[in-house]
A and B are shown apart, each in its own frame.
Chain A
Amino acid sequence: MSTDATALTPNYEHDVIDTHHGIGTPVLGMLLFITSEVMFFAGLFAAYFTLRADAQAWPPKEFANILVPFTLFTESGALNLIVPMTILLITSSFTCQLGVWGIRRDDHTAFRRNFAVTIVLGALFLLMEMYDWSVLFHEGLSMSTTTFGTTYFTLTGFHGAHVFGGVVMLSVVLYRGLAGQFSSRHYDMVEATSLYWHFVDVVWILLFSVLYVL
C-alpha cells in the first residue's frame, strides 16, 4: 500500500531535476536548428575556400574592378550597394534586439515598431541584393563564370533565401504580436525568431568579409 502511494506522489528531496526552467523549449529548438544551418553554410564555405585556394586569380581579372566594396559606384556608373546593404542588415539586427527587449518589459509599442522596422530593413536588403545581382549579370558575371561565379551566387543566393525566410518568420511574429499573443511572460517565439535573424546577420558579415574584403 505505502509503496504504491509513494509511486503516485513522487517526493524527492535531493534529486529533483527541474527541466521546466532555464532555456525555453522553442528557443532551444531554434538554437539547434541554427546549429544545423551553421553546418550547412560550413559545407558551402568549405567548398568556397577549397576552390579559391586552387584558382589562378580570385576574383577573375575581368571582374576584379566591379567587386570593390568601398566605392559607391562601379566603373560603368552603376550603384555599388554592397556596403549600404551590409549597414542595413547590421542595423536590422539591433532593431530586432530592441524589439525583444521591448516585449521583455511588456512595452508592446517598442516591440511592434522595432519588428516592423526590422522587416522593412530585411526586405530592403533583398531588393538591393536583387539590384546588385542585376549589375553583376549585366557585367557578365554568372553562375558558370569559373568557380568564382558559382560560389559567389551560391553563397549569396542561399544567404538571400535565408533572409527571405527570416522576413517571413518576423512577419508571422509581428502579426501574432499585433493580435496580442505575446507578453513579458510569453515571448519564446519572439526570442527564437530574433536568434535566427542574428544568425542570418552573422552569416552576411562572414560573407561580406570573405567575398569582398579578404
Chain B
Amino acid sequence: MATTTLHPAAQTYRSTLYEWLTTTDHKKIGILYLINSMIFFISGGILALVVRLQLALPANSSTMGGLVSDDFYNQAFTMHASFMLFLFIIPILAGFGNYAVPLQIGAPDMAFPRINALSFWMLPLGGLLMASGFLVSGGAAASGWTEYPPLSAGFDPTTGLQYNGTGTDLWIMGLVLIGTSSILGAINFLVTIFKMRAPGMTLFRMSILTWTVLVTSVLVLMATPVLTSALIMLFIDRNYGGQFFVAGPGGGQVVLYQNVFWFYSHPAVYIMILPAMGIVSEVLPVFSRKPLFGYKAFVFATVGIGALGFSVWAHHMFTTGQVFLPFFSLMTFLIAVPTGVKMFNWIATLWRGKLVFSTPLLFAFGFLMMFLIGGLNGAFSAAVPVDFALHDTYWVVAHLHYVLFGGSVFGVFAGIYYWFPKMTGRMLDETLGKVQFVLMFIGFNLTFFPMHQLGLLGMPRRIAQYASNAGWSELNQIATIGGFVIAASVLPFLWNVLVSLRSGKIAGDDPWEANTLEWATSSPPPPYNFDHLPEIRSERPVFDARHRRTAATSTASH
C-alpha cells in the first residue's frame, strides 16, 4: 500500500498543573503574575508586622527581651521593601497588563507568547534567590532596599569590617533577574500594542489602562537597564575588587551609586503607580455610568509624567550636597501638574455620575483620597528646605506608603474585584469585599497617618530602637495596631477568593455593563480571546455595541 495516512495528533492527557506550568496564554500568565505577587505581598506583609512589633515598644531589643535582634530587624525592613516593590507592586501591575491589554486591544495574545512565559518564570526564580538570603550565614540583604554603599559594599578596607554577607549578593542577582523579566515584559507590551491592535483600534481609541501600560513599558525599557548596570557595578565592587563606589585615593564615588540607582528608581515609582491609575480610570467611568472626562488630557498627562519622570531622580539626593538643587526641585514641582490634571479627570468623571457603589468603586475612591494625600505630602518634600528637615524621617515612610499603598495597592484591589468575574466567570462576594475595604481603609490610615507626625517629631526611618522619652511611643503603638488591622483585612479577601471560586454568583460576559473590549467575549475568555469583535469606533466599543443594539431593537419594535 503506497498510501500515506495522516493521523490526527493523539489526544494527550495534560494535567491542569502541567497546563498552567507550561502555558503561553497571556490570560493564564497574567493570573500567574497575580498569584505570585499575592504570595510575596503576604510574605512582605509578615515582615512588616515584624517591623511594627519591634517598634511597638521603645528600646525593644532581643537582648532586653524584645522580639528580634537588631540584625534581623535590618533584614526584615530591607526584605519587606524589596518584596513589596519588586515582587508585588511592579509584577502585579504587569500581571493586570498581561491579562487585560491583549483583550482590550482585541488581540489574540501577546506578540511574543513564549518570551511572555519566560518573563513570568524569572520572577519566582528571582524572588526565591532574594529570599534565600535568609538561609545563608549573615542573613538576607540588610542595608535597606536602596542598598547604598558603603553599607552594602561588603568589605571595607579602611576599617576591616565585613558589613554584609552573601545575602546581599543573592539580593543583587535576584533583582537583576527580576529587572530582566521586567524589560522583556516591556518589550512584549510595546510590540503587542504597536503591532497587534484590532482593525479600527487606533491609538486614541485604546483603553486608558493600555495607555498607562504603554508609557510604563517605555519607562521600564529606559530605566530598568540602568538599575541593572548599578547592581552589576555593586556586584563587581563586592566580589571582584572593583573600585566604583569605594571612596579613597584612586577610588570611586559613593554618590555615583545613588545617581545611577535613582535614575532607575525614580521612574520606577511611576512604573508602580501609572498602571494603578489606569485601573482606576477603567473603574470610575464604568461605575459612574459616564465616559472618562478628558480622555486625551489624561493620555497626555500620562505621557507627560513619563517624560518628566526622568528628570527628577536627584530629589532623593538633596542632602548629599552633590546635586543641582533648584533644577531638581523645579522639575519635581512640575511633575505634580500632570498628576493634578488626572485628579481633575477623575473627579469630573464622578461629577453627577450615576454612581454604583460596588467594591471596585470603593477601592477606587480609596485610591483617590489616599493618593491625593500622598501626592500633597510629596509636593511638600519637593521644596528643598522642607526636604532637608524631613529627609530620611518617618515623614518619607508616610509619604511613600500613601502613594504606594493608598495609591497602588487600593488600585490593585479595585482591579482584582473588577476583573475577577472576567478571569474566573464568577463574582466576588460584595459583602466580604466591603468588609475588606473598610478594614483596610481604617487600618491603613491608622498605620501611616501617625508616621507624618513621627517624621515631624524627628524619628529617623530604619531604626530598630528608640528611647522611651523621645515622645514617639504612643504614635508607634497606634501604627502597630493599624498594621494588624491591615493584616486582618487581607483575611476576608483570601476567604472571598476561595469561596467565590467554588460558589460565587455566575458573572456572565459583562456583569458591570462596562466599556472596553474584554467584556465583549465570554468569561473566562476562550483561548485566543475572541470569536468575533464588535465594531471599534470609539474608546468604548462595548458601550457602543450595547446601546446601538438597544436603539435598533427599539426602532424595530415601534
What 1/0 flags go to B191-221 for Cβ under 8 Å of A?
A: 1001111011110000000000000000001
A19-B194, A33-B187, A35-B222 known; A10 vs B229 contact (CB < 8 Å): no
What chain A residues lie within 8 Å of B200 (beta carbons)? 10, 12, 15-17
Does B228 sit within 8 A of A, measured CB to CB?
Answer: yes
Q: In the complex, identify which listed stretch (A38-46, A122-130, A171-179) lies at the interface while the others stay far away.
A: A38-46
What chain B residues lie within 8 Å of A79 (beta carbons)? none
Residue among A10, A33, A50, A146 making CB contact with B256, cutoff 8 Å: A50
Q: In the complex, identify which listed stretch (A1-9, A84-92, A162-170, A194-202) lies at the interface while the others stay far away.
A: A1-9
A51 adjacent to B256 (CB under 8 Å): yes
Question: Could you tell me which residues of chain B, from 159 to 173, have a CB within 8 Å of some CB in chain A?
Answer: none
Residue among A33, A39, A147, A149 making CB contact with B223, cutoff 8 Å: A39
What chain B residues lie within 8 Å of A71 (beta carbons)? none
Residue among A17, A28, A41, A44 making CB contact with B197, cutoff 8 Å: A17
Does B244 sit within 8 A of A, measured CB to CB?
Answer: yes
Q: Label chain B's interface by main secondary structure.
A: helix
Q: In the bound complex, what is the Cα–Cα distance between A142 and B224 (angstroms)?
A: 29
B535 adjacent to A7 (CB under 8 Å): yes
B243 adjacent to A44 (CB under 8 Å): no
Chain B: minimal CB distance from A29 (Å):
5
A17 adjacent to B202 (CB under 8 Å): yes
Chain A: minimal CB distance from B178 (Å):
14
Does B18 sit within 8 A of A, measured CB to CB?
Answer: no
Chain A: minimal CB distance from B112 (Å):
6
What chain A residues lie within 8 Å of B549 (beta carbons)? 3
Does B263 sit within 8 A of A, measured CB to CB?
Answer: yes
B244 adjacent to A37 (CB under 8 Å): no
Does B13 sit within 8 A of A, measured CB to CB?
Answer: no
What chain B residues lie within 8 Å of A12 (beta carbons)? 199-200, 535
Does B1 sit within 8 A of A, measured CB to CB?
Answer: no
Question: Could you tell me which residues of chain B, from 429 to 453, have a CB within 8 Å of some CB in chain A?
Answer: none
Chain A: minimal CB distance from B302 (Å):
19
Residue among B194, B237, B242, B259 making CB contact with A28, cutoff 8 Å: B194
Closest A residue by C-beta to B228 = A40
Q: In the bound complex, what is the Cα–Cα distance between A151 and B195 (angstroms)?
A: 39
What chain A residues lie within 8 Å of B533 (beta carbons)? 7, 10
Q: In the bound complex, what is the Cα–Cα distance between A27 and B61 (angstroms)?
A: 58
B225 adjacent to A147 (CB under 8 Å): no
Q: In the bound complex, what is the Cα–Cα distance between A12 and B199 (angstroms)?
A: 8
What chain B residues lie within 8 Å of A151 (beta carbons)? 244
Q: In the bound complex, what is the Cα–Cα distance between A25 and B223 (angstroms)?
A: 23
What chain B residues lie within 8 Å of A16 (beta carbons)? 199-200
Q: In the bound complex, what is the Cα–Cα distance between A50 and B241 (angstroms)?
A: 19
Does B111 sit within 8 A of A, measured CB to CB?
Answer: yes
Question: Could you tell me which residues of chain B, from 525 to 558, have a CB within 8 Å of some CB in chain A?
Answer: 532-537, 545, 548-549, 552
Question: Could you tell me which residues of chain B, from 66 to 113, have a CB within 8 Å of some CB in chain A?
Answer: 111-112
A36 adjacent to B183 (CB under 8 Å): yes
Q: In the bound complex, what is the Cα–Cα distance between A190 and B236 (angstroms)?
A: 34
What chain A residues lie within 8 Å of B250 (beta carbons)? 55-56, 60, 146-147
Q: In the bound complex, what is the Cα–Cα distance between A35 and B219 (angstroms)?
A: 11
Question: Could you tell me which residues of chain A, from 18 to 69, have a CB within 8 Å of some CB in chain B?
Answer: 19-20, 25, 28-29, 32-33, 35-44, 46-47, 50-51, 54-56, 60
Q: In the bound complex, what is the Cα–Cα distance between A46 and B532 (angstroms)?
A: 51
Does B260 sit within 8 A of A, measured CB to CB?
Answer: yes
Q: In the bound complex, what is the Cα–Cα distance between A42 and B221 (angstroms)?
A: 13
Residue among B195, B252, B253, B256 making CB contact with A19, cutoff 8 Å: B195
Does A134 sit within 8 A of B, measured CB to CB?
Answer: no
What chain B residues lie within 8 Å of A76 (beta carbons)? none
Q: In the bound complex, what is the Cα–Cα distance between A7 and B191 (angstroms)?
A: 26
Q: In the bound complex, what is the Cα–Cα distance between A46 and B188 (angstroms)?
A: 28
Q: In the bound complex, what is the Cα–Cα distance between A142 and B241 (angstroms)?
A: 9
Q: In the bound complex, what is the Cα–Cα distance between A45 and B226 (angstroms)?
A: 10
Q: In the bound complex, what is the Cα–Cα distance between A3 and B550 (angstroms)?
A: 11
Q: In the bound complex, what is the Cα–Cα distance between A154 and B241 (angstroms)?
A: 12
Q: In the bound complex, what is the Cα–Cα distance between A33 and B118 (angstroms)?
A: 15
Does B175 sit within 8 A of A, measured CB to CB?
Answer: no
B197 adjacent to A19 (CB under 8 Å): yes
What 1/0 flags go to B438-479 for Cβ under 8 Å of A?
A: 000000000000000000000000000000000000000000
Does A150 sit within 8 A of B, measured CB to CB?
Answer: yes
B111 adjacent to A25 (CB under 8 Å): yes
Does B230 sit within 8 A of A, measured CB to CB?
Answer: yes
What chain A residues lie within 8 Å of B259 (beta carbons)? 46, 50
Residue among B186, B224, B243 making CB contact with A147, cutoff 8 Å: B243
Does B385 sit within 8 A of A, measured CB to CB?
Answer: no
Q: In the bound complex, what is the Cα–Cα distance between A28 and B533 (angstroms)?
A: 26
What chain B residues lie within 8 Å of A8 (beta carbons)? 532
A28 adjacent to B195 (CB under 8 Å): yes
What 1/0 flags go to B240-255 for Cβ under 8 Å of A?
A: 1111100000111100
Q: In the bound complex, what is the Cα–Cα distance between A42 and B549 (angstroms)?
A: 54
A36-B183, A143-B236, A147-B251 known; A47 vs B225 contact (CB < 8 Å): no
Residue among B195, B230, B242 making CB contact with A150, cutoff 8 Å: B242
Q: In the bound complex, what is the Cα–Cα distance between A123 and B536 (angstroms)?
A: 52
A144 adjacent to B242 (CB under 8 Å): yes
Interface centre among A35, A39, A149 (most CB of B within 10 A): A39
A29-B191, A32-B187 known; A37 vs B552 contact (CB < 8 Å): no
B228 adjacent to A43 (CB under 8 Å): yes
Q: In the bound complex, what is the Cα–Cα distance between A16 and B549 (angstroms)?
A: 23
What chain B residues lie within 8 Å of A19 (beta carbons)? 194-197
Q: In the bound complex, what is the Cα–Cα distance between A60 and B249 (angstroms)?
A: 12
What chain A residues lie within 8 Å of B552 (beta carbons)? 2-3
Closest A residue by C-beta to B240 = A143
Q: In the bound complex, what is the Cα–Cα distance between A154 and B236 (angstroms)?
A: 8
Chain A: minimal CB distance from B253 (Å):
6
Does B190 sit within 8 A of A, measured CB to CB?
Answer: yes
What chain A residues lie within 8 Å of B251 (beta carbons)? 146-147
Q: In the bound complex, what is the Cα–Cα distance between A176 and B535 (angstroms)?
A: 41
What chain B residues lie within 8 Å of A32 (beta carbons)? 186-187, 190-191, 221
A150 adjacent to B199 (CB under 8 Å): no
What chain A residues lie within 8 Å of B263 (beta carbons)? 43, 46
A17-B200, A51-B244, A147-B252 known; A44 vs B195 contact (CB < 8 Å): no
Closest 6 CB pairs of A and B: A43-B229, A144-B241, A146-B250, A40-B225, A39-B225, A43-B226
List 23 A–B pairs whose Cβ atoms lie within 8 Å, in order of A's numbering: A3-B548, A7-B532, A7-B535, A7-B545, A8-B532, A10-B200, A12-B535, A16-B200, A28-B190, A33-B183, A36-B187, A36-B225, A38-B225, A43-B233, A47-B229, A56-B250, A143-B240, A144-B241, A146-B250, A150-B237, A150-B242, A154-B232, A154-B244
**Given A7-B533, A17-B200, A40-B229, 5 new contacts (CB under 8 A):** A28-B194, A51-B252, A55-B250, A144-B240, A149-B243
